[in-house]
Amino acid sequence: MREGPDIARIASLVGDPARANMLNALMGGTALTASELALEAGVSLPTASSHLSKLMEGGLLTLASQGRHRYYGLASAQVAGMIEAIIGVAEAVGPKRVRPGPRDAAMRVARVCYDHLAGEQAVAMLDRLFDRKLLLREDSEIRLSSSGAAHFSALGIDIQARARRPVCRACLDWSVRRSHLAGTLGAAILDKIIAEKWARREKESRAVVFSPGGKREFERVFLA
Amino acid sequence: MREGPDIARIASLVGDPARANMLNALMGGTALTASELALEAGVSLPTASSHLSKLMEGGLLTLASQGRHRYYGLASAQVAGMIEAIIGVAEAVGPKRVRPGPRDAAMRVARVCYDHLAGEQAVAMLDRLFDRKLLLREDSEIRLSSSGAAHFSALGIDIQARARRPVCRACLDWSVRRSHLAGTLGAAILDKIIAEKWARREKESRAVVFSPGGKREFERVFLA
DNA sequence: GCGATGTTTCGACCACGATCGAAGCATCGA
DNA sequence: TCGATGCTTCGATCGTGGTCGAAACATCGC
């Protein structure tokens, strides 16, 4: 019972499912807003806010205020390392893999992440957009190339860079552990997918289900 | 959102003060009985028993029954590494360490981490072993070189690589924030240090205290 | 200024889990 | 066989902390 660093305090911060989901979402290194984290964690905005202030007070997060957006990120690589260590143990002791379930499987393939597409389809799409040089990696940023601007414009997706919100942003995918496309462009693409009826949003879920024809169209346009 | 290894489950196991104290006590590497752990955690026996079964179910502990005694120990070096990582974060964000205190200072210099040596001495040793090419970095792994195998063999440390547990592993040190050597080789070196009486283990603590002569010997052999 | 959007605070509710005493098992030494 | 010791299970209590709706606060575009 002797004193030491308060390890229980830190561990219990990670020990709540909602907070664990938030931290997991932040493991990609990109800072996220409170709303995005609320969606990732599957809790309401007030609840998420409460969790975030606890994580802040615990020193696990940093906060960058930009106007009315507040971007939360992991405080340090040390914190990320700790979470990796916990993930490692969880994987080692929990080979459970309880039957994925159909909704779960659908979620892995494609789902909504805030206002853009996530899941295997989205990750594949981002890869392909890089391959075709429609998007360019710049350090940790993503930029729209001139050919990309023309390409999306031809698809009826016009991005006016007016918004304070970045046009392109990488967003880490929990199921694939790689990035997919967020930002206004990501949102616009999801809008198009829904508008063209290539896919529909599953009720009461984040899953996005493509129709057979819609899937072909999507792949022709974005995965070609 | 959810899916993936259940990190919240693992973290919440560590997140209870009583359980955290137990795990901390077990970081010394010696298995302890339920009564000892109850005392260490400052809770009654029934409470401790309940905590222990939770830790067992979570896969964090191993149990060795010997007659009417039941010895609990950490399940693996991986679990120990996770706890070290959490301690590191707790130290970093922790409140204004009030005067380190002598025991704390001794812990920084050298201490037991599960079954191997940690602390400044251990970090310095790993650095030196790399310099002398007795160990080789390979990506994020550590490998024993042929000259290293010969060297340790000459010291009476024979490592049979058959074990499923890796021979060499890096383990992050909370006090120095750099790696020290874990794995069977790390354990064997600690065994030698104790067997040669170069150092003794402080009672009721993880600190390892070198004798003046032992320190010289250790430095001659491992830090030369 | 205005309404719209993003975020936090407040208040109230409720459940989970930590806790302990007493009783039940299990194993030891005779 | 017996009592003693080490540990776990049972049952009941209780407080901490997660949760959300409503409202307040902050900042933007206009």
Query: What is the pLDDT confidence band of residue B204, given thresholds at 50, 70 and 90?
Result: low
Q: How many residues does chain A have?
A: 224
**Residues of chain B contacting residue A119, judged by C-beta atoms under 8 Å apart:** none
Query: How would you label A55-69 residue by residue, b for 16+ Cβ within 10 Å and e otherwise?
Result: beebbbbeeeeeeee
What distance in Å separates residue A16's CA from the closest CA in chain B?
Answer: 6
B63 φ/ψ angles, rounded to the nearest 5 degrees: -130, 130
Q: Which of B89, B164, B172, B206 to mutate: most A Cβ within 10 Å?
A: B89
- Side chain identity at residue A165, one-letter code: R
Which nucleotide comes closest to B53 if you measure CA to C1'?
D8
Cα–Cα distance measured from residue B44 to residue A118, given in angstroms and rounded to the nearest whole number: 49
- Written out in words, the top-level CATH class of the domain with range B7-75 is mainly alpha
Domain residue extents for chain B: 7-75, 79-222
Predicted local distance difference test score (pLDDT) of residue B95: 60
Predicted local distance difference test score (pLDDT) of residue B103: 58
Does residue B79 carry a pLDDT above 80? yes
Sign of CA dihedral A127, A39, A25, A53: positive
Q: Residue A38 in contact with residue A44, Cβ under 8 Å?
A: yes
- Distances in Å between the Cα of B132 and the Cα atoms of B68, B135, B147 are 49, 8, 9
Does residue B217 carry a pLDDT above 90? no
Q: Would you list the DSSP string of B108-146?
A: HH-EEETTEEESHHHHHHHHHHHHTTSEEEETTEEEE-H
Query: What is the pLDDT confidence band of residue A4, given thresholds at 50, 70 and 90?
Result: low
Please state which CATH number belongs to domain A7-93: 1.10.10.10
A24: nearest Cα among A69, A91, A117: A91
Mean pLDDT, chain B, rounded, equals: 79
Specify the higher pLDDT residue, B54 or A102.
Answer: B54
Query: What is the pLDDT confidence band of residue B58, given thresholds at 50, 70 and 90?
Result: very high
Q: Is A191 on the interface with B (CB under 8 A)?
A: no
The three-state secondary structure class of A117 is strand
Specify the higher pLDDT residue, A91 or B101.
Answer: A91
How confident is the model over B49-63, as a mean pLDDT? 92
B124-139 pLDDT per residue, tens: 888 888 888 888 876 4
Which nucleotide comes closest to A51 if you measure CA to C1'?
D18
Cα–Cα distance measured from residue B201 to residue A60, given in angstroms and rounded to the nearest whole number: 34
| Residue A99 Ramachandran class (φ > 0 left, ψ -120 to 50 alpha, else beta) | beta
How confident is the model over B36-62, as a mean pLDDT? 91
Q: Would you list the DSSP string of B8-58?
A: HHHHHHHTSHHHHHHHHHHTTS--EEHHHHHHHHT--HHHHHHHHHHHHHT
Q: Which of A9, A61, A82, A107 to mutate: most B Cβ within 10 Å?
A: A82
Q: Name the one residue in this structure whose structure tokens are 């994020």.
A: B140
B110: nearest Cα among B25, B30, B23, B214: B214
Predicted local distance difference test score (pLDDT) of residue B60: 94
Cα–Cα distance measured from residue A171 to residue A187, given in angstroms and rounded to the nearest whole number: 12
How confident is the model over A108-137, as a mean pLDDT? 78
How confident is the model over B166-190, as a mean pLDDT? 71
Query: What is the pLDDT confidence band of residue A115, given thresholds at 50, 70 and 90?
Result: low
Query: What is the pLDDT confidence band of residue B176, given thresholds at 50, 70 and 90?
Result: low
A60-107 pLDDT per residue, tens: 998 877 667 788 888 886 888 888 889 888 878 766 544 444 455 676
- Distances in Å between the Cα of B79 and the Cα atoms of A1, A196, A220, B14, B108 are 20, 50, 47, 11, 21
How confident is the model over A112-117, as a mean pLDDT? 67
Predicted local distance difference test score (pLDDT) of residue A98: 47
B179-188 pLDDT per residue, tens: 778 777 888 8
Q: Residue B148 in contact with residue B214, Cβ under 8 Å?
A: no
Among A4, A8, A78, the residue with its CB nearest the CB of B88 is A78
Predicted local distance difference test score (pLDDT) of residue B189: 85
A172-223 pLDDT per residue, tens: 555 544 567 777 787 788 888 888 888 887 654 567 788 888 888 888 888 8
Which nucleotide comes closest to B49 if you measure CA to C1'?
D8
Q: Is B194 on the interface with A (CB under 8 A)?
A: no
The three-state secondary structure class of B6 is coil
A138-151 pLDDT per residue, tens: 544 577 888 888 88
Predicted local distance difference test score (pLDDT) of residue A99: 42
Does residue B12 carry a pLDDT above 90? yes
The verdict on a CB contact (< 8 Å) between B14 and A7 is yes
Predicted local distance difference test score (pLDDT) of residue A177: 47
Predicted local distance difference test score (pLDDT) of residue A170: 57
Enter the DSSP assignment of A207. Answer: B
